Amino acid sequence: MQARRLGLAVAAAAAAGLLGPATAEPPVRRIPLYADAPRRPIGELAWLAQGTVPGTDGPYEAMTRTALLDLHALTVPGGGVVAGWAPAWRYVWPRDASFAAVAFARTGHLGDARRVLDFLQRVQAADGSFQARYRPDGSVPDARGIQEDGPGWALWALSEVAPGDARYRRLLDRSAARLLARSHDGLPPPSSDYWERPEKVLTLGIAAPTLAGLDAAAYLYERLGETARAAHLTMVADATARRILDVFGADYPRHAGGREADAAVAFLARPYQRRDDKAGAMRTAGAVSELQRPNGGLSPGEGWPDDGIAWTPETALFALTFASTGHGDAARHYLGWIDRHRTDRGSIPEKVLADGSPASVAPIAWSDALVLLAVDALDRD
């Protein structure tokens, strides 16, 4: 069902001109950004040679090579992956770190991936919660509080990087317990999500990672031979999937009972979810059209300020989902857009202005990881 809807979505988007040549796209004006992370060329290139670069000998090799080097430069010795190198971004968000761990594993840098998981296991509270962000040393910098997508993303990363590894038993047990304790009637209470805003109503940005985490935990316990725990988590995950459909509806808006589209709809598809059928979870054509910005990229959601600015993390989210569900043309469309809007040093910026200029911070860890995973998915297709 999901594949059929996604196919129709891509066809509809193509017919609307959303996946074709960006003829109206403004010319790119390359500008230097102050936040480029420092590099140590000799050491970095030696590290790069220890693994693989997605898309080698293809059109994205320059972008993925730089993204991988940038992601490594943003990783501190203790395993934390800072979002960016500018002071305001030099913090570790568990969400970003989880994606970075998977990107490192997919590119053959398993030691780096495990160090990121080590960091997440070290900073996680005894009740399984994660703060919104951490300093590179693992301390909490402010009172932003807990963001409840952390346990789900950590479990997804663990299932992709080190399934069956007893070294991460504490991360597994605490994260699974947190999700189970918060799954009241199948759904968690509201929490701040990747929009970094207080929320009084449950968002898809929390509900979808919760489902992903429950399914990942079931898979991880199954790998450990604990079939009873795995079966219980699968039962809860099934209930959560049903309740997400009940309260969000077939269009899957940002808020339960709401109407506005959100990029988090991508979280309900592969590679984030292990299950194949989400009862029509991907409202892809609608989401693409409603999140599309005139400069060719995507915004976080319909409720985001209508300022003409596109965000590379959200654009890359859809690229990865398209690449992971067999829709390579759509994935290549958005990867090409990101590639054309890199900085003068080749890094992926967080934002692209209405005039096509890269803006905000660069490099940005979440976008780097997503692009690497998307191109890797195309390589595997």
- Confidence class of residue 45 from pLDDT cuts 50, 70 and 90? confident
For residue 174, what are the CA distances in angstroms to 81, 331, 338? 21, 35, 37
Q: What's the average model confidence in pLDDT over 21-47?
A: 54
Closest to 55 (Cα-Cα) out of 66, 47, 64: 64
Looking at every residue in the chain, the average pLDDT score rounds to 89
Q: What's the average model confidence in pLDDT over 266-283?
A: 73
DSSP 35-49: TPPP--HHHHHHHHT
pLDDT one-digit tens code per residue, 176-187: 999 999 988 889
Least confident span in 30-39, 67-76, 146-155, 368-377: 30-39
For residue 342, what are the CA distances in angstroms to 67, 132, 148, 177, 360? 10, 27, 31, 41, 12
- Name the DSSP class of 196: -
Give pLDDT, residue 242.
93
Domain extents in the chain = 2-380
pLDDT one-digit tens code per residue, 72-94: 999 999 999 999 999 999 999 99
- Residue 181 CA, distance from chain mean position: 24
Give pLDDT, residue 325.
87
- Confidence class of residue 3 from pLDDT cuts 50, 70 and 90? very low
Strand partners, 310: 352
Q: Is the pLDDT of residue 249 over 70?
A: yes
Q: Is the pLDDT of residue 63 over 90?
A: yes
CB within 8 Å of 226: residues ≥ 6 apart: none
Give pLDDT, residue 21.
39
* CATH code 1.50.10.10 for 2-380: yes
Number of residues written out for the chain: 381
Is the distance from CB of 17 to CB of 293 less than 8 angstroms? no
When computed from its CA atoms, the radius of gyration of the chain, rounded to whole angstroms, is: 19
